[in-house]
């Protein structure tokens, strides 16, 4: 049984003007509101409670105050990502607000499954949201192959049903300790490759990689080894017209452009994402066509 010995870390609560502005542009009046969820910006992160972007918040802080630019990416094919931190989600309202896709936290390490996953995953599907699962990586806990098997067996599977995206490897700043989990760049590359190889053997799909430019460049040494295999989901909370892409990738497939967005059907902050292409291309990613 893996346990994390690191001390608790408190997440910064500051929210920038970007988040407030995006919330105004993204919120829709239609649809019922979900019951309030826990406040992920004012809690101590315990083992199993990590979510997309938490490591970046802890190591780099909340988004700086940035005015909403004219080219802020609130158009195009929009998506969200959620975990238990969002509480109950009204997926019918989410879809009605124009959200077309979502990734939902399934697992972390090899001992944690998100307690909202079993409700969120089928509910999103039934509402017509193209959805997939994500795994929060803990490379210092066990091998990449071990964690890929755990993910595939606990929600990270895939089927060609027009509404299921390939799974995501969320690999970012360690929210529980040292940024690169104590691994060298060579060890980290091997870990990621083992995860990818095992996940593909289990599901037939290339795993999507979620990361930031700063983490990838530092912890993998600008590695190019995944650029021809895995679609890139890059986190860059900015009002610019495009994100900063890790040195190891030529372009981005999905962009998480804010961690403090808002959408009908979700209470409180939610990560907002944009797909780099049309809905037809999103469906091609989902269906592996």
Q: Is 170 a catalytic residue?
A: yes
User: What is the C-alpha to C-alpha distance for residues 124 and 119, in angstroms, rounded to an integer?
Assistant: 9
Asked if residue 179 is part of any domain, the answer here is: yes
Residue numbers of the chain with a pLDDT score lower than 50 = 1-38, 40, 42-43, 64-72
User: What is the C-alpha to C-alpha distance for residues 245 and 58, in angstroms, rounded to an integer?
Assistant: 21
Q: What is the pTM assigned to this prediction?
A: 0.82
Q: What is the pLDDT of residue 279?
A: 97
Q: Is 46 a catalytic residue?
A: no
Q: What is the pLDDT of residue 179?
A: 95
CATH code (residue 146): 3.20.20.80
Q: What is the pLDDT of residue 87?
A: 96
Asked if residue 138 is part of any domain, the answer here is: yes
CA neighbours within 13 Å on the CB side: how many for 61? 6
Spatial neighbors of 149 by CB under 8 A, at least 6 apart, are 198, 202
Single out the catalytic residue among 49, 81, 114, 271.
Answer: 81
Asked if residue 254 is part of any domain, the answer here is: yes
Asked if residue 67 is part of any domain, the answer here is: yes
Asked if residue 41 is part of any domain, the answer here is: no
DSSP string across 206-225: PPEEEE-HHHHHHHSSS--T
Q: Is 172 a catalytic residue?
A: yes
Asked if residue 9 is part of any domain, the answer here is: no
Q: What is the pLDDT of residue 21?
A: 34
Q: What is the pLDDT of residue 173?
A: 94
Single out the catalytic residue among 49, 108, 172, 271.
Answer: 172
User: What is the C-alpha to C-alpha distance for residues 192 and 137, in angstroms, rounded to an integer?
Assistant: 9
Asked if residue 28 is part of any domain, the answer here is: no
Single out the catalytic residue among 49, 108, 114, 170.
Answer: 170
Other CB atoms within 10 A of residue 207 CB = 28
Is the Cα torsion angle 32, 93, 44, 114 positive or negative in sign? positive
Q: What is the pLDDT of residue 272?
A: 96
| Segment 70-109, tens digit of pLDDT | 334 567 999 999 999 999 999 999 999 999 999 999 999 9
Domain extent for 111: 54-287
Q: What is the pLDDT of residue 63?
A: 54
Spatial neighbors of 69 by CB under 8 A, at least 6 apart, are 239, 240, 241
Q: What is the pLDDT of residue 240?
A: 86
Residues 44/80, Cβ–Cβ less than 8 Å: no
Please give the tally of structural domains in the chain: 1
Per DSSP, the three-state class of 21 is helix
Per DSSP, the three-state class of 197 is helix
Q: What is the pLDDT of residue 59?
A: 61
Asked if residue 70 is part of any domain, the answer here is: yes
Using alpha carbons only, give the angle 227, 169, 37 rounded to the nearest 5 degrees.
Answer: 140
User: What is the C-alpha to C-alpha distance for residues 102 and 248, in angstroms, rounded to an integer?
Assistant: 25
Structure tokens at 229: 């295999």
Q: What is the pLDDT of residue 192?
A: 98
User: What is the C-alpha to C-alpha distance for residues 156 and 173, in angstroms, rounded to an integer?
Assistant: 22
């Amino acid at each position: 049984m893996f346990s994390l010995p690191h001390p608790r870390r408190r997440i910064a609560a500051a929210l920038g003007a970007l988040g407030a502005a995006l919330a105004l542009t993204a919120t829709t009046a239609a649809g019922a509101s979900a019951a309030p969820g826990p406040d992920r910006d004012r809690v101590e992160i315990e083992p199993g409670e990590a979510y997309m972007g938490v490591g970046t918040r802890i190591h780099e802080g909340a988004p700086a105050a940035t005015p909403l630019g004219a080219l802020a990416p609130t158009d195009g094919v929009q998506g969200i990502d959620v975990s238990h931190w969002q509480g109950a989600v009204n997926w019918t309202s989410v879809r009605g607000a124009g959200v077309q896709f979502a990734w939902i936290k399934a697992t972390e390490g090899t001992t944690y499954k998100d307690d909202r996953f079993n409700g969120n995953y089928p509910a999103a599907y039934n509402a017509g949201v193209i959805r997939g699962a994500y795994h929060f990586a803990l490379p210092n806990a066990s091998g990449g192959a071990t964690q890929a098997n755990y993910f595939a067996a606990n929600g990270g599977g895939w089927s060609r049903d027009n509404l299921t995206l390939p799974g995501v490897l969320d690999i970012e700043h360690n929210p529980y300790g040292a940024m690169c989990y104590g691994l060298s760049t060579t060890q980290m590359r091997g870990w990621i490759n083992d995860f990818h190889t095992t996940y593909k053997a289990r599901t037939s799909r290339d795993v999507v990689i979620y990361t930031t430019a700063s983490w990838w460049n530092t912890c993998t040494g600008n590695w190019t080894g995944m650029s021809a295999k895995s679609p890139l989901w890059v986190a860059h909370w900015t009002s610019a017209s495009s994100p900063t892409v890790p040195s190891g990738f030529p372009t981005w497939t999905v962009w998480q452009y804010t961690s403090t967005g808002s959408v009908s059907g979700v209470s409180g902050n939610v990560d907002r994402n944009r797909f780099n292409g049309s809905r037809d291309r999103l469906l091609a990613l989902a269906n592996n066509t």
